[in-house]
Structure 1
Amino acid sequence: MTATLLLWDIDGTLISSVPGCAEIYPRAFERLTGRPAVHQVDISGRTERDIMDELFRRNGLGPAPRHRLAEVLVQELRHKAAELEAVGRVLPGARETLTALGMREGVVQSVLTGNLRANAALKLGVFGLDELVDQEVGAYGDDAVERAALVAVARRRAAAVHGRVFDAGNTVLIGDTVRDVAAGRDGGARVVAVASGTTGAAELRAAGAESVLPDLRDTPAVIRAVWPGGGAV
């Protein structure tokens, strides 16, 4: 039986976060340096380590210190958990699509996200999506600074757990940013882009996504995008 590895981005693809979640990076910067960040950075589609490294560089420092970085970022997001639960939401169709795809034989469904593993688990858990993906075989911001490198990480983990080979032909990344598209393209995965975040469909298509959907409301359309030749398992 043919296997398919589906790797989901989280923020902007499965959930809509709260503006306050972006505050964890300058807050972490201030805790780690003792001074506020004057210059901010674009966080869309990036790993948390990459965000913090650029934040440090933009503010005249070297790379972010690794020994405390994860601890501080996780603590800062935990401070936002109640706000996230109250104001954030699962994007339309995400839960239904995850459920439907997860029921298909041969599908291994996980996440590929710039979030640290603990932060990804918190976000998925807040919205009850944690049981719909296999987090053990996902790839996270802890695993690499560059997002494209995460594709190989997820493949290795999925192969080790499920005893199947995952390659460019049966790995699909689903995300909502140009950086998601680039990660899939550079990492060797097919890309289904969803214009549910801040990036429009035309820009996602121009970046190289094989399929672009307006959102996840139409589960059959998602299935056709994942298996465009009708080769669904």
Structure 2
Amino acid sequence: MRTTLVLWDIDYTLLVSGPAGRSVYPRAFAALTGTEAPSTVPTEGRTEPAIMAELLAVHGVTDIRDKDAADAMITALRDAAPQLLSQGRRLPGALECLTALHGDPRGVQSLLTGNLRTNAELKLSTFGLDGLVDFEAGAYGSDDSHRPRLVALAQRRAGDRYGTVFDRDNTVLVGDTLRDVAAGREGGARVVAVATGQDGAEELLAAGADVVLPDLRDTELVVRTLLGDGKSPRESGEFAP
């Protein structure tokens, strides 16, 4: 029986999309407005619609429909696909961990990401990870621009698909940013953070992550952490910040 829902963030948790990922917003801005964006906005841990909306707003653009903005971001990443493949990379251990969890009958494995679903699928397929997660059981930036609300949506979708009630006790969000931690805590999931992005291990633990791992290289440790007894480092003493 599938008893644990594991929800993965994508960028800097499973892979690095490199310049191609960063180019989505200026490319989309140019397509939507016919001009170059003179400045950028923060992106880490946010949804793509929220990032694009802020980028447009800070430059005084207020008449773009959400659907048009989403379509522009999808086109932008598709156009950057060659750069995504050549300059992006899968993070060490990501393939091994996803493969191990995919074959484990205890877990449902999906995504909780700020990426639009189409962009999430493209990123994972580019690096050979797409066949290892159930996209239908996850939640995406295209569902809601506020990440904490995505947790409950993924829990409902996974519950409907697998006949299990998923809640805070049996849902694990895996991410690398303080916003990932906040999404899990507010949305109703345990949080396993990986210190593979800009936020350090001590910051992630202080923000409320239940466990902080340095990376995904130790497949056995990752699987045990995600599908084990759920104890936090404060309770078990096994994991260090």
- Decide which moves more: 218-227 or 193-202: 218-227
Give the corresponding residue for 1:31. 31
Q: 4+ residue runs of structure 1 moved beyond 3 angstroms? A: 61-64
Give the corresponding residue for 1:205. 205
Looking at structure 2, the residues matched to 200 and 174 of structure 1 have their Cα atoms a distance apart, in angstroms, of 15
For structure 2, the residue ranges without an aligned partner over 5 or more in a row are 232-241
Looking at structure 2, the residues matched to 161 and 230 of structure 1 have their Cα atoms a distance apart, in angstroms, of 23
- Aligned partners of 1:224 and 1:230 also within 8 Å: no
**So what's the TM-score if we normalise by structure 2?**
0.91
Looking at structure 2, the residues matched to 134 and 145 of structure 1 have their Cα atoms a distance apart, in angstroms, of 21
Looking at structure 2, the residues matched to 47 and 101 of structure 1 have their Cα atoms a distance apart, in angstroms, of 25
Instruction: Tell me by how many angstroms 1:63 deviates.
Output: 7.4
Q: Which amino acid aligns with 1:88?
A: G
Looking at structure 2, the residues matched to 33 and 145 of structure 1 have their Cα atoms a distance apart, in angstroms, of 22
Give the corresponding residue for 1:94. 94
Summarize the Cα distance change of 1:188–1:98 in structure 2 as closer, same or farther, 3 Å threshold: same
Looking at structure 1, the residues matched to 213 and 4 of structure 2 have their Cα atoms a distance apart, in angstroms, of 20
- Equivalence map 1:97-116=2 (5 Å): 97-116=97-116
- Decide which moves more: 180-189 or 216-225: 216-225
Looking at structure 2, the residues matched to 21 and 105 of structure 1 have their Cα atoms a distance apart, in angstroms, of 33
The alignment yields a C-alpha RMSD, in angstroms, of: 1.6
Looking at structure 1, the residues matched to 149 and 96 of structure 2 have their Cα atoms a distance apart, in angstroms, of 29
- Decide which moves more: 159-168 or 100-109: 100-109
The answer to whether residue 76 in structure 2 is matched with residue 70 in structure 1 is no
Q: Which amino acid aligns with 1:73?
A: M
Instruction: Tell me by how many angstroms 1:30 deviates.
Output: 2.1
Give the corresponding residue for 1:174. 174
Looking at structure 2, the residues matched to 129 and 35 of structure 1 have their Cα atoms a distance apart, in angstroms, of 35
Looking at structure 2, the residues matched to 2 and 48 of structure 1 have their Cα atoms a distance apart, in angstroms, of 30
Matched positions, count:
231
Instruction: Tell me by how many angstroms 1:185 deviates.
Output: 0.6
Summarize the Cα distance change of 1:211–1:25 in structure 2 as closer, same or farther, 3 Å threshold: same
Summarize the Cα distance change of 1:2–1:80 in structure 2 as closer, same or farther, 3 Å threshold: closer
**So what's the TM-score if we normalise by structure 1?**
0.94
Give the corresponding residue for 1:226. 226
Looking at structure 2, the residues matched to 160 and 53 of structure 1 have their Cα atoms a distance apart, in angstroms, of 32
Instruction: Tell me by how many angstroms 1:42 deviates.
Output: 0.7
Give the corresponding residue for 1:128. 128
Looking at structure 1, the residues matched to 68 and 61 of structure 2 have their Cα atoms a distance apart, in angstroms, of 16
For structure 1, the residue ranges without an aligned partner over 5 or more in a row are none
Please state whether the residue corresponding to 1:193 is helix, strand or coil: strand
Summarize the Cα distance change of 1:2–1:76 in structure 2 as closer, same or farther, 3 Å threshold: closer
- Aligned partners of 1:56 and 1:63 also within 8 Å: no
Looking at structure 2, the residues matched to 45 and 63 of structure 1 have their Cα atoms a distance apart, in angstroms, of 26
Please state whether the residue corresponding to 2:113 is helix, strand or coil: coil
Looking at structure 1, the residues matched to 117 and 187 of structure 2 have their Cα atoms a distance apart, in angstroms, of 20
Q: Which amino acid aligns with 1:66?
A: D
Looking at structure 2, the residues matched to 63 and 185 of structure 1 have their Cα atoms a distance apart, in angstroms, of 34
- Aligned partners of 2:106 and 2:227 also within 8 Å: no
Task: Give CA-to-partner distance per residue, 1:93-137, whole Å, 9 cap, x none.
Answer: 111111112222231000111110100000010111001100111
Instruction: Tell me by how many angstroms 1:168 deviates.
Output: 0.5
